[in-house]
A and B are shown apart, each in its own frame.
Chain A
Amino acid sequence: AQSVTQLGSHVSVSEGALVLLRCNYSSSVPPYLFWYVQYPNQGLQLLLKYTTGATLVKGINGFEAEFKKSETSFHLTKPSAHMSDAAEYFCAVSDQGDSSYKLIFGSGTRLLVRP
Chain B
Amino acid sequence: DADVTQTPRNRITKTGKRIMLECSQTKGHDRMYWYRQDPGLGLRLIYYSFDVKDINKGEISDGYSVSRQAQAKFSLSLESAIPNQTALYFCATSDGRQGSNQPQHFGDGTRLSIL
Q: How far is it, in angstroms, between the C-alpha of A8 and the C-alpha of B24 when the chains are bound? A: 34
Measured in the bound complex, the distance between the Cα atoms of B92 and A87 in whole Å is: 20
Given contacts A102-B45, A102-B58, contact A9 B100 (CB under 8 A): no
Known: A9-B40, A100-B48, A101-B100. A43 touches B94 (CB 8 A): no
Docked CA distance A15–B53 (Å): 50
Known A96-B100, A100-B48: A45·B106 in contact at CB below 8 Å: yes
Count of chain A to chain B residue pairs whose CB atoms are closer than 8 Å in the complex: 61
Whether A51 contacts B42 by the Cβ 8 Å rule is: no
Cβ–Cβ < 8 Å partners of A106 in chain B: 42
- Count how many chain B residues have C-beta atoms less than 8 Å from C-beta atoms of the other chain: 27
| Among A41, A46, A90, contact of B103 (Cβ-Cβ < 8 Å) | A46
Partner of B96, one of A4, A43, A46, A101: A101
Given the complex, which residues of B lie within 8 Å of A103, measured CB to CB? 33, 43, 45, 104
Q: What separation, in Å, do the CA atoms of A100 and B31 have in the docked complex?
A: 9
A67 to B43: give the CA distance in the assembly, Å. Answer: 22
A95 within 8 Å of B by Cβ?
yes
Asked if B48 contacts A90 (CB within 8 A), the reply is: no
List of A residues within 8 angstroms of B106 by Cβ: 36, 43-45
Nearest residue, chain B, Cβ from A47: B103
B108 within 8 Å of A (CB atoms): yes
Whether, in the assembled complex, B4 has its beta carbon less than 8 Å from a beta carbon of chain A, the answer is: yes
How many Å from the CB of B109 to the closest CB on chain A? 6
Residues of chain A at the chain B interface (Cβ within 8 Å): 4, 9, 32, 34, 36, 41-46, 49, 51-52, 90, 94-96, 98-103, 105-108
Q: What 10 new A-B contacts, CB under 8 Å, besides A43-B107, A52-B101, A103-B43?
A: A42-B109, A44-B92, A94-B100, A94-B101, A95-B100, A98-B100, A103-B33, A105-B43, A107-B40, A107-B42
**9 pairs, CB–CB < 8 Å, chain A vs chain B:** A32-B100, A34-B103, A41-B108, A43-B107, A43-B109, A45-B106, A90-B43, A99-B100, A107-B42
